[in-house]
Amino acid sequence: NAGVTQTPKFRVLKTGQSMTLLCAQDMNHEYMYWYRQDPGMGLRLIHYSVGEGTTAKGEVPDGYNVSRLKKQNFLLGLESAAPSQTSVYFCASGTGISYGYTFGSGTRLTVV
Amino acid sequence: KNEVEQSPQNLTAQEGEFITINCSYSVGISALHWLQQHPGGGIVSLFMLSSGKKKHGRLIATINIQEKHSSLHITASHPRDSAVYICAVNDMRFGAGTRLTVKP
């Protein structure tokens, strides 16, 4: 019963380093999302995908890139990490805005 | 002004009390979601509403489309209900959350 799996769960990066966060779902969902959660600000949408091979920008896309080469995977990349990208990142998947969503357990990223 | 506003920000209750958390939104919606974020960080989807009322156990969610308002009620609250409750609309535009603490 995997649902949505995020890797890694924790990571510390130095400013300027790059990394990729992986989100994998086994529910055949079309929609996938990446969010960041910062204290006092709630969840904010970074990028999303409505199907394999598609991506779109959300509310706070700057400094991030995404890819959805396979339906089950949605990758979030940081090309040159900055301290402002210190956050908890959540991935979610679903079948559309009128249906429920399943969230991953989150990735806590610290950029020093 | 945030498109999704929740109140209160923080709520402390005694075990057994009836809890109400409110969500107001300023955009047209296709659906409104209530989510629960546990102290450990995990997020669970509680309800998806497009009209009326839904009930699951001790949780009740209502929505008034004309007034652009939704409420989440918890009856007979219990310390295990302590969590952050988040309202979200459409393509997951989120409120800032309501932190609920239920004391025994």
Q: A2-14 pLDDT, tens per residue? A: 699 999 999 999 9
Contact B33 A99 (CB under 8 A): no
pLDDT, tens only, A49-64: 999 999 999 989 999 9
Nearest by Cα to A29 from A79, A67, A70, A65? A70
- DSSP E strands, A16-100: 19-25, 31-38, 42-49, 56-57, 65-67, 73-78, 87-94
Report chain B residues whose CB lies below 8 A from the CB of A1: none
| Cα separation, A49 vs A73, whole angstroms | 10
Report chain B residues whose CB lies below 8 A from the CB of A90: 43
Reply yes or no on whether the pLDDT at A33 is more than 80: yes
Contact A98 B48 (CB under 8 A): yes
Per-residue pLDDT band for A1 (boundaries 50, 70, 90) equals low
Mean pLDDT of A27-56: 92
The three-point CA angle A6-B40-A78 to 5° equals: 35
Contact A35 B96 (CB under 8 A): no
Chain A / chain B CB contacts < 8 angstroms: 52
| Cα separation, A67 vs A59, whole angstroms | 17
Reply yes or no on whether the pLDDT at B24 is more than 80: yes
pLDDT score, position B14: 97
Contact B31 A48 (CB under 8 A): no
Q: What is the mean pLDDT of chain A?
A: 93
Mean pLDDT of A89-106: 87
